[in-house]
Structure 1
Amino acid sequence: MADSTKGDTDVQDLGLLSSALIALIAGLVIHSFIIGVNVTDWWKGRSVTPVDHIVTCLGISRMCAQCANILYLFIYPLFQGSLHSRITLLKEISYDFLIYANIWLTSLLSIVYCLKISNFHTRLFLYLRGMIVHRTVYLIGAAVLLSAVNSLISLLLAIPKVSNSETYHTTMANLMTNCSYIKTAYHHAIGISFPLLSYYISSVLLFTSLYHHTTKMKMSSNLSINLETYYSVMKFISITFIYNTVYFIWYICCMFYYYAYCVSPDWLYIVLDFLPVLHSSYLIYKTAKLRSQMSKVLQSVTDFLFQRKDTETRENIGVVAL
């Protein structure tokens, strides 16, 4: 019976690592493509927009989050005792930092889209448009700094718990370092609420502005107006809105599972890492520059494969002829 249970556990661990590796490979391909295209444009002196800056940093944070998670899955079984607790704490703090950065950068991306596309003409809106759009790099730095501060607070809240655990030898094989420390859960919830609130406000404002604008254009006498571009942007906003809502709910589920059962929800984390891969893929599809470069890459790969197949076919014909 024990051997059967151990075999089931080994199969589950193998499935977990396999799923994590598949998600990691997909994430590395998609995120590194976005980063590579934008960095190449910057290196060659081409025009790089504020949106390109944010999307590049977003890709870096998402790729690093996946790498941190997969490293933890491989390193975690190798340590026991106090090192086990410290490795877990290090993973949780670094992963939280990258999650915060992902959420803050996504919120910043939505705000920049709102300021660039919306047709509001109030003084405050025009002031924010001129200030934020031309200071995107500083705002990215501020988003990273806020994420680091949130992670540092989580670390300061968790250190006493880890110290008490090591002093009284209460660390168990499946006990996490700060899972029972409810203040950390409150801090996580508060830490992600501000960027999410900013994201939802900017998304609703942008969608409302585009909706009213398209309504006025349809009511005008000019029937030659093409509204497909506006509908495409509204569709992009809606899908991104759904993605961020699902991502937020899934992150809350991971957090509550972690604090409720004192067990790291590895399967939930893998899904949480894979959701940004889907969103980055959608960004490539909706961004003309990225879509064009992806088409070129796929065409080059296709040409290489067919050229290789034709070469092998000719070689086989030559061998048969001999």
Structure 2
Amino acid sequence: MADSAEGDNDVKYLGLLVPLLIVLIPGLVIHSFIIAVNGTNWWQGRSVTPVEHIVTSLGISRMCTQCANTAYFILLRVFWRNRDSRVTFAIGIVYSLLISANIWLTSLLSIVFCLKISHFHTRLFLYLRGMMAHRTVYFIGAAVLLSTVNILISLLLPFTKVSSGETYNTTITDLMTYCTNIDSVYSVTIGAVFPLIFYYISSILLFTSLYHHTTKMKMSSNLSINLETYYSVMKFVSITFIYNTVYFICYISGILYYYIYCVSPDWLLIVLGFLPVLHSSYLIYRKAELRSQMSKVLQNVTDFLFQRKDAETRENIEVVVL
């Protein structure tokens, strides 16, 4: 019976590992492509916009998150059998840090878009626009720092309880599986809610500004005005809004599931790895330079494959003739 149960667990594990690896491969390709294109522009001395700074940082964060996600899933199985949770605990902390940084950077990207595109002309708005344009790198560092502080707080809470005498007979392994600590759940949740609030405010302001602007342009007598660009930006904001909402729901659901059952929801790890790949693909499609470079890469790959196929065909013909 034990061997049968172990075999069923192995089958279930492989059934989850395969789609996780399938998501990992295109994710690494897409994220590394964004990093390579923007990094090449920076290396060649070309001007890099604040949006490109954030998108590059987001690509690095998402690529590292996927690698940590896969490593956590694989090592969780290996070290669980050996009853050693230190390695998986450390990777889990890194994974949580990267997800938190991903959420903060996504919110920062939305704020920069709002300041850059919106048609507000208040003194505060113009001041924030100028400040963000020249200090984007500092805000990226601040987002990573806030993520680190939040994760450290949630990590130190169980040890604080032990040192204050609230918990007795607690081993290191017990501390590393702190799923029943509601304070840690609050800390991680609040750390995700704050950047999400900033994201929703900036997205709603941007969409409202674009909507009112397009409405005024429709009412004007100038019929030659092209509104497709504005509609395209509004579509981008809407799709990104849906993505962030779904991502946040999956993230919070994973935290609550872990708190209630003290088991990591493996299927949610796959979903949380798949959603950023879709969003990064959409960012490539939306940005003209990234889309152009991706087209060139795909064209080169296609030409190489067809040239190789033609060469093999010619070799086969020559063999048959001989």
For the aligned pair, the TM-score class normalised by the smaller chain equals over 0.9
**Paired position in structure 2 for 1:121:** 121
Stretch moving more, 45-54 or 240-249: 45-54
AA aligned opposite 1:286:
R
**Paired position in structure 2 for 1:239:** 239
**Paired position in structure 1 for 2:94:** 94
Judging changes above 3 Å, is the alpha-carbon distance between structure 1 residues 161 and 92 closer, same or farther for their aligned structure 2 residues?
Answer: farther
**Paired position in structure 2 for 1:66:** 66
Cα pair 2:24 2:67 within 8 Å, conserved: yes
**Paired position in structure 2 for 1:135:** 135
Cα pair 2:154 2:183 within 8 Å, conserved: no
Structure 1: segments with no counterpart, 5+ residues:
none
Q: TM-score, normalised by structure 2?
A: 0.94
3-state SS in 2 of match to 1:24: helix
Cα pair 1:97 1:151 within 8 Å, conserved: yes
Stretch moving more, 60-69 or 78-87: 78-87
Cα pair 1:176 1:262 within 8 Å, conserved: no
Q: Distance in 1 between matches of 2:259 and 2:207?
A: 36
Q: Distance in 2 between matches of 1:80 and 1:228?
A: 54
Q: Deviations over 1:133-179 (max 9, x none)?
A: 2110110011111111111111111335799999556968xx97110
Q: Distance in 2 between matches of 1:170 and 1:147?
A: 24
Q: What is the root-mean-square deviation of aligned Cα atoms in Å?
A: 2.2
AA aligned opposite 1:44:
Q
Q: Distance in 1 between matches of 2:289 and 2:162?
A: 48
Matched pairs, number: 320
Judging changes above 3 Å, is the alpha-carbon distance between structure 1 residues 5 and 316 closer, same or farther for their aligned structure 2 residues?
Answer: same
Q: TM-score, normalised by structure 1?
A: 0.94
CA shift at 1:82, angstroms?
10
* Structure 1 residues 1-322: aligned runs within 5 Å: 1-79=1-79, 84-159=84-159, 167-168=169-170, 177-322=177-322
AA aligned opposite 1:292:
S
Q: Distance in 2 between matches of 1:6 and 1:153?
A: 37
Question: Alignment identity in percent?
Answer: 73
CA shift at 1:45, angstroms?
1.1
AA aligned opposite 2:142:
A
Cα pair 1:81 1:171 within 8 Å, conserved: no
3-state SS in 2 of match to 1:226: coil
Q: Deviations over 1:270-303 (max 9, x none)?
A: 1111110000000000010100000000000000
